[in-house]
Amino acid sequence: MDRSRPILVFLAAGVQGDAVVRAALARGLKVRALVRDRARAAARLPAPNVELVEGDLGDASSLAAAGTGIDHAVLQVPIGSTETMTTQAGKALAAFKAGGIVSFVLKLNSASRPAPCEEPSFVANHMIEEAARASGIPFAIVRPTMYLDNLLKPSALAEIAKDGVFAPPIPASQRIAWTSADDCAEAALTLLERGAMGGDHRIAGPDSLTGDELAIRVSAGLDRTIRYSGQPLDEFEREVETAMGAGVGRRVASKFRYFTNYPDEAKSILAQPFIPQIGLEHFRPRDVESWVRAHKKAFEPTKKNANSV
């Protein structure tokens, strides 16, 4: 890897992209951060080795400009409709080919399933993978089980502060090897640095935990008791609809309904702890308690989240 040339990071101002930026900087790498709004992103990404470029995954010309002079990239597509996600990925891949990008890591939000499959995000992931293969550019895939970063969402922090409860739309009986945005970012950068392309890497935590077991680990990390309470899917969907608009709740909830309807698939996708593959032989994911302790300050009750409903 030519360390004098920056790595292009998509969605750099979001939780997942920001983790990639931090992982790259920790390695002494330069970053070209693709953002929607340079002024807003500057407050989040102030590091001297970060070059902010404005771009839109729907705008081919901005993607071509962002990719100029780039050898490697970490590509992530925001969750949306299947059509929107595949169109955006296609434009990014076309920009990669035109710009001569040498390799990239495709950072997916979850599992992939070919049609027939009723879960839109899984189908979109599969279609994006197929487009990446058709591009002919060497790439590797990184995908999470379920992100611990869900505990850091404002609504989750408010519930933890007010009621001492973490209530995702997943039954407590479902075992999950929880991972984090930081670990997925570390995996992506490790693969790029090693030039280890061609693999499909499921990034999971070291332990397969039920909801109650997760609560015990989170409680240990916070030094206070937290309970786990699986939120009913209909209630979750209504809340998302109210917060984000009509149709969004159903789309977001569809993945969780899939897990409920296909428990064997849920077990395969979520439950198994991390298994090293070529390129990540020495990668060691962080356990839940260590991750919580590293983010403990974010969980400290504030007047704002303690009074939230």
Two tokens, residue 258: 């899939």
Q: Is 68 strand, coil or helix?
A: coil
Return the higher-pLDDT residue of 307 and 281: 281
Report the DSSP beta bridge partners of residue 104. 73, 139
What does the pLDDT read at residue 302?
Answer: 65
Kindly state which CATH superfamily the domain 148-178+206-272+287-309 is placed in. NAD(P)-binding Rossmann-like Domain (3.40.50.720)
**230-240 confidence digits (pLDDT tens):** 999 999 999 88
What does the pLDDT read at residue 307?
Answer: 42
Question: Do the domains 148-178+206-272+287-309 and 7-137 match in fold?
Answer: yes
Report the DSSP beta bridge partners of residue 33. 9, 52
Report the DSSP beta bridge partners of residue 53. 34
pTM over 0.85: yes
Nearest to 255 by CA among 63, 125, 105, 66: 125
CATH number for the region 7-137 comes to: 3.40.50.720
Nearest to 25 by CA among 2, 50, 55: 50
What does the pLDDT read at residue 249?
Answer: 85
Return the higher-pLDDT residue of 300 and 292: 292
Share of the chain above pLDDT 70, in %: 97
Phi, psi of 236 (to 5 degrees): -60, -45
For residues 117 and 212, what is the distance between their CA atoms, to the nearest angstrom? 31
Nearest to 213 by CA among 145, 289, 156: 289
Return the higher-pLDDT residue of 134 and 46: 134
What does the pLDDT read at residue 308?
Answer: 37
Domain edges within the chain:
7-137, 148-178+206-272+287-309
The pLDDT confidence band at residue 46, using thresholds 50, 70 and 90, is confident
**192-235 confidence digits (pLDDT tens):** 999 999 999 999 999 999 999 999 999 999 999 999 999 999 99
